[in-house]
Amino acid sequence: MDLNWNLLLQLLLNGVIVGMLYGVVAMCFVLIYKSTQVVNFAQGEFVVLGAWVCWSMIAWMELHFIPAFLFALVFMTLYGVIVQVVVLRPLVGEPIISVIMATIGLSIFMQALMNWVFGNNAESFPDIFGGWKIEIGGLQVEAGYLLSFVLSIVVMLAFFWFFKYSRWGLAMRATAFNQQVAASLGISTRQVFAMAWAISALVSAIAGIVLGLVNGVSTGLAFIGIKVFPAVIVGGLDSIVGAILGGVIIGVLENGAEFVDGQILKVGNMYKVAPFYVLILILMIKPYGLFGTKDIERV
Amino acid sequence: MSHVPYPRPCGDFRTTYAEDASLYKTRPAFRAAVAITLLAALMPIISWTMPAVVSTAMISNLIQIGILAIAALGLNVLVGFTGQISLGHAAFFGFGAFSSAYLVNNFSVPVLLAIPAAGIVTALVGFLFGLPAARLKGLYLAIATLAAQFILEDFFARATWFTEGYGVTADRPVLAGLSLADDRWFYYVVLFWVIISFIGVSNLRRSRDGRAFVAVRDHYLSAEIMGINLTKYRVLSFGVSSFFAGLAGALYGHFLGFVSVEAFTILLSIQFLAMIIIGGLGSVTGSLLGAAFIFMLPPTMQSFASSLAEIFPAMQQGVAYVKEMAIGLAIILFLILEPEGLIHLWRRIRASWKLFPFSH
């Protein structure tokens, strides 16, 4: 069988780059889950909203890319806080199904609202790179992809610094570890909860804008919110390192599945469902993922 | 699952076990249930004799509410009784629709028999997906069923022997040479299954198995210590839930006449969940109320938004979106303001009326 190995390399490279973005969004998801015990089914909508806000600033207000980008970040930070205070705060202590349904309701609401305000069509960002491309080992890499790679690394380093050294980051880790103890040591868990949502929304917006630069903005970008689930299950639900690694694994796996599908099996659509088969498999053999903490129950 | 196992308003007491286990607490409640059922059975007759009072559109709406209520009831057994979350109910609903059409088209099984048979086939598929799911709970289960939803959707699009790849036709039933193609006849088929399902689940709830489901929900460790086989009951509740999903799906397929592979998306799964949350988790009557609420919400919002658009022309293009937003908003508002659902609202109204000057 004559396989196109160059295509495989190209796909795997794409997989790593897209996977890094999955990892970044998965990290936001894990951040919220870890510090507030909320499963955010609206993560994908956060990504899209960030991209739309940045796009509308450029297209409607005729701002340059950098101020529009900064505006989108500020907007999304505030938005994250508002969502936490209005929707999630009243549900603290409610059973898990209520919390899941609340974020699902939020995602439906946001999706319809965004379709209304920004329209159903995909819009592209003005080309800020001028079609500039780079060659790495004979493979073409678009500038947008390169930017996404660099930004992903920057975000991950920033996360690392924030949680390791900053006062707020330590407070968040303490809250994630044990809410009651953290509260009795004088940490305001309310503020920590709001901040977790703010950071998550902010970082999602970065991922959304980068994705928008490469593929254009549309509601379809919210698919990344669904891809997050295989990524976090592979990595472990409460591990930030696991989320990044899980994202990369899912990105590579998707593109690998596309290659096997396109070159050998020819069944079509493997790209979309392969991550979910892996998800079920992981849940069967290692339900806490690669880095997740095992839940031990004692009576 | 729920922190209040039996939400009951202040002042509504039960003093004997027999009273607690009875389906209808008071004679008037029983009479009301019979009266509502009889009224429901009279609807097509009214429609034949006085079309101005009950239009055919109303009959068609009632059929759809009934079908959705059966599916919501199935989901309520899984989520409300056993506390297992499923985001893949629409896929099982779809599986039932395709199975029934498959049995009718390929093996010429009579439609009226194919409908329950589709329920049984779907229950078997439910057992299959329930087996691995029995090891998981809470969030992990929600994500696993999400995966099941996508895998089954992909299966529908791929399995051309089963679904033709785009969809199949499903005929209306025939009884003793008499075609039940008219909605008003089909209404009775649906009503029959609605009554069977609701009586069945109400009684399941107070049987040993039903109490075991609730025990698994409320504290699965205690339940296991008391000798309840967790795996058995988790799988069983998946099976029961899939049976009703399949039954409702089969009815829906034969109602529409055509089963499309694209009709059973995650959005429908979410709507089923919304029905039981808004109706009342773990409540049999609540499933019906929730199904009616979610079914009526989009058309109501549509007419509301259209009349708003007449006053504010800028609203015109937003009408379609207001409809979608309303579902999301309804879910959030109910969770925040009335987490026990419509049925609890009704119980509270009834209690405050019964205990009038001293109601809490």
Question: What is the structure's pLDDT at B74?
Answer: 94
Q: Which residues pair with A136 in a beta bridge?
A: A139
* Chain A residues closer than 8 Å to B328 by CB: 104-112
Q: Which residues pair with B260 in a beta bridge?
A: B167
Chain A: give the shortest CA distance to residue B299, in Å.
16
Task: Identify the DSSP state of B6.
Answer: S
Chain A: give the shortest CA distance to residue B79, in Å.
9
Please tell me if residue B314 touches chain A, with a CB cutoff of 8 Å: no
pLDDT tens digits, A79-120: 999 999 999 888 887 888 888 889 999 999 999 899 888 888
Please tell me if residue A191 touches chain B, with a CB cutoff of 8 Å: no
Question: What is the structure's pLDDT at B5?
Answer: 45
Place of tokens 């879910």: B331
- Nearest CB to A112; choose among B132, B277, B321: B321
Cα–Cα distance for residue pair B57/B54, rounded to 1 Å: 8
Query: Which of B332, B337, B344 to mutate against chain A (most A CBs within 10 Å)?
Result: B332
Helices (H), chain B: 17-21, 27-49, 56-76, 89-107, 111-133, 138-158, 160-163, 183-205, 208-218, 220-225, 230-256, 266-279, 284-311, 319-337, 342-354
User: Is A266 domain-assigned?
Assistant: yes
- Nearest CB to B270; choose among A104, A267, A299: A104
Question: What is the structure's pLDDT at A131?
Answer: 61
pLDDT tens digits, A171-227: 988 888 888 898 899 988 889 999 999 999 999 999 998 888 887 888 888 888 888
Cα–Cα distance for residue pair B34/A202, rounded to 1 Å: 56
Amino acid at position A97, single letter: I
Contact yes or no for A113 and B325 at CB 8 A: yes
User: Is A294 domain-assigned?
Assistant: no
Chain A residue with Cα closest to B150: A273
Q: Which residues pair with A141 in a beta bridge?
A: A134
Sign of the CA dihedral running B261, B266, B271, B272:
positive
Place of tokens 């009632």: B62
Question: What is the structure's pLDDT at A265?
Answer: 67
Would you place residue A267 in the very low, low, confident or very high pLDDT band (cuts 50, 70, 90)?
low
Rg (CA), chain B: 21
Query: Which of B273, B335, B340, B344 to mutate against chain A (most A CBs within 10 Å)?
Result: B335
Please tell me if residue B288 touches chain A, with a CB cutoff of 8 Å: no
Amino acid at position A8, single letter: L
Domain ranges in chain B? 17-358
Chain A residue with Cα closest to B225: A299
Distances (CA, A) of A183 to A37, A126, A177, A189, B288: 16, 47, 11, 6, 43
pLDDT tens digits, A5-57: 777 888 888 888 888 888 999 999 988 888 888 888 999 999 999 999 999 98
Residues 6+ apart with CB under 8 A from A140: A10, A133, A134
* Chain B residues closer than 8 Å to A279 by CB: 143-144, 147
State the residue range of the domain holding A35.
5-285
User: Is A144 domain-assigned?
Assistant: yes
Chain B: give the shortest CA distance to residue A223, in Å.
12
Q: Find which of A132-141, B283-292, B299-308, B350-359 is predicted with most confidence, using mean pLDDT.
A: B283-292
Would you place residue A290 in the very low, low, confident or very high pLDDT band (cuts 50, 70, 90)?
confident
Cα–Cα distance for residue pair A238/A117, rounded to 1 Å: 35
Instruction: Give how many domains chain A has, as a whole number.
Output: 1
Residue pair A46/A205 in contact by the 8 Å Cβ criterion: yes
Contact yes or no for A283 and B317 at CB 8 A: no
Question: What is the structure's pLDDT at A129?
Answer: 66
Cα–Cα distance for residue pair B262/A226, rounded to 1 Å: 18
Name the residue among A104, A91, A111, A33 with its Cα closest to residue B335.
Answer: A91
Tokens of B343: 């049925």
Tokens of B19: 């009273």
Task: Identify the DSSP state of B87.
Answer: S
* Stretch B205-211: mean pLDDT: 88
User: Is A299 domain-assigned?
Assistant: no
Residues 6+ apart with CB under 8 A from A259: A7, A8, A11
- How does the average pLDDT of chain B come out, rounded? 85
pLDDT(A136) > 70: no
Would you place residue B129 in the very low, low, confident or very high pLDDT band (cuts 50, 70, 90)?
confident
pLDDT tens digits, B17-62: 777 777 777 777 788 888 988 988 888 888 888 877 778 888 889 9
Cα–Cα distance for residue pair A214/B254, rounded to 1 Å: 45
Chain B: give the shortest CA distance to residue A118, in Å.
11
Would you place residue B76 in the very low, low, confident or very high pLDDT band (cuts 50, 70, 90)?
very high
Tokens of A23: 């990892």
Question: What is the structure's pLDDT at B7?
Answer: 57
What is the CATH classification number for the domain harbouring A90? 1.10.3470
- A220: how many CB neighbours lie within 10 A of its CB? 12
pLDDT tens digits, B139-167: 788 888 888 898 888 888 888 788 877 88
Question: What is the structure's pLDDT at B177?
Answer: 67
Chain A residue with Cα closest to B321: A112
pLDDT higher at B1 or B80: B80
- Nearest CB to A108; choose among B154, B221, B328: B328
- B185: how many CB neighbours lie within 10 A of its CB? 15
Contact yes or no for B274 and A116 at CB 8 A: no
* Chain B residues closer than 8 Å to A250 by CB: none
Question: What is the structure's pLDDT at B200?
Answer: 93
Q: Which helix (H) or strand (E) holds A230?
A: helix A223-235
CATH number for region B17-358: 1.10.3470
- Nearest CB to A273; choose among B79, B150, B336: B150
Helix B183-205, helix B208-218: angle, nearest 10: 70
Residues 43-102 of A with CB under 8 A from B: 87, 90-91, 93-98, 100-102
pLDDT tens digits, B316-360: 777 778 888 888 999 999 998 888 888 888 888 887 877 777 765
User: Is A272 domain-assigned?
Assistant: yes
* Chain B residues closer than 8 Å to A112 by CB: 321-325, 328
Is residue B221 helix, strand or coil? helix
pLDDT tens digits, B248-291: 999 999 998 888 888 898 889 999 999 999 998 888 889 999 99
Question: What is the structure's pLDDT at A132?
Answer: 65
- Nearest CB to B318; choose among A110, A116, A280: A116
pLDDT tens digits, B223-249: 889 899 888 898 899 999 999 999 999
